[in-house]
Amino acid sequence: MRARGRRKTSYAADIAVIHSGRQWLTLAVFIGLLVVLPLVLNATHNLNWVTFLNFTLIIIIAVLGLNVTTGMTGQVSLGHSAFIMLGGYGLAMLTLKADWPFWAALAVSTLVTGLIALIVAIPAIRLKGFYVAVVTLAFFYIAQYVIRNLDITGGTFGLIGIPSPSIAGMSIKGDVRWYYLLLALTILCVLVSVNITRSRLGRSFLAVRDNDVATAALGVNVPLTKLRAFFVGSLFAALAGGLWASYVSVVRLDQFTIWDSIWYLGMIVIGGAGSTAGAIMGVIFLRLISQILHVIGTSDLIPLSSTVTIYSTQIIYGLVIILFITLKPMGMISIWQKFKINYKRWPFGV
């Protein structure tokens, strides 16, 4: 029997993210592995894997935001792709048209997207359930229409030549440098996300999701909580969008489709709604599927045309979402937790 239990002597110890020295060690080793990962991949001359890692990190940041809005607060948003798009376009317009420095532009475009999300949330918060999804869906198409028809956004051609950031005089160019920047920012975002769940704010989010009437009875302002959820969620999305735009140095409308909104929702469901670790697992799982299909499709073994790859990815994504929703509604994180409990209490499983 390995189970001993841990005695907590203070509230702070009880809500601590990391409980023991062994967890600190595991975390340090894990982050160390993440730091040396691109060096290993570089040694094998597989630069496209570093690109894959970078996009995965960007999407993790975005999905952490959706996890706040949908996973924690239960407001199903189909407009997440639009918030990412606004963040990207905001950064592009501020750096290209107004010659702002990168970091200022990123901060301002993120904040402005957050304010836009508040406006979108006004019709959404008055209603329950799928009405929120419909409002955000309508917002997605309206945002896309506006961007397509404005001159300042470059219309259907988009904006090109978005500058890269620089830190202390070192400009972030190339996949590996970007990897370290994105890794640092992702860890920061994970930290924020984890701490949201531990705070009063996060508890009000979870309470609104689980029972909004009871939450209101306990004195929590439900509409305000929903507004906050949309605001925080869209901040993550806009940050990811700005980084995305700068990383590929282009923003175009077809980078941000309604399908992406659906995949982000799927990632949350697959990982386990409301859990930060679950959201990350969901992103990595779906990204790996598409990368594996891409590798198979471009290999000599079973060459597939790019359209076949795209649509078989779509079919598999759909199937995975369907299977998780019907068979494992609590997501991958529930499988992991069950394993952990069984391991600790062995031979007395659940």
Contact residues toward another protein (CB under 8 A) are 70, 74, 76, 123, 125-131, 133-135, 137-139, 141-142, 145, 148-149, 212, 216, 222-223, 226, 259, 262, 265-266, 269, 307-308, 311-315, 317-322, 325-326, 329
As measured in angstroms, the least distance from the Cβ of 78 to another protein is 8
Output 80 or 182, the one with its CB closest to another protein: 80
As measured in angstroms, the least distance from the Cβ of 334 to another protein is 14
Torsion angle defined by CA atoms of residues 105, 59, 262 and 257, in that order, rounded to the nearest 10 degrees: 50
Output 62 or 181, the one with its CB closest to another protein: 62
User: Measured between alpha carbons, how far is 277 from 194 in angstroms, rounded to an integer?
Assistant: 9
As measured in angstroms, the least distance from the Cβ of 197 to another protein is 19
Output 19 or 148, the one with its CB closest to another protein: 148
As measured in angstroms, the least distance from the Cβ of 237 to another protein is 18
Output 89 or 317, the one with its CB closest to another protein: 317
As measured in angstroms, the least distance from the Cβ of 319 to another protein is 6
Output 123 or 206, the one with its CB closest to another protein: 123
As measured in angstroms, the least distance from the Cβ of 343 to another protein is 29
Output 159 or 321, the one with its CB closest to another protein: 321
**In angstroms, how far is the first alpha carbon of the chain from the final one?**
15
As measured in angstroms, the least distance from the Cβ of 247 to another protein is 26
User: Measured between alpha carbons, how far is 326 from 315 in angstroms, rounded to an integer?
Assistant: 16
* Sign, Cα dihedral of 98, 86, 223, 67: negative
Write the single-letter amino acid at 325. Answer: I
Question: What is the token pair recorded at 61?
Answer: 């940041």
Output 70 or 246, the one with its CB closest to another protein: 70
Angle made by CA atoms 84, 51, 171, in degrees to the nearest 5: 80
Q: Which residues contact 329 (CB under 8 A, 6 or more apart)?
A: none
Burial 304-315 (b: 16+ CB within 10 A, else e): beeeebeeebee
Contact 84, 263 (CB under 8 A): no
Q: Which helix (H) or strand (E) holds 178?
A: helix 175-198
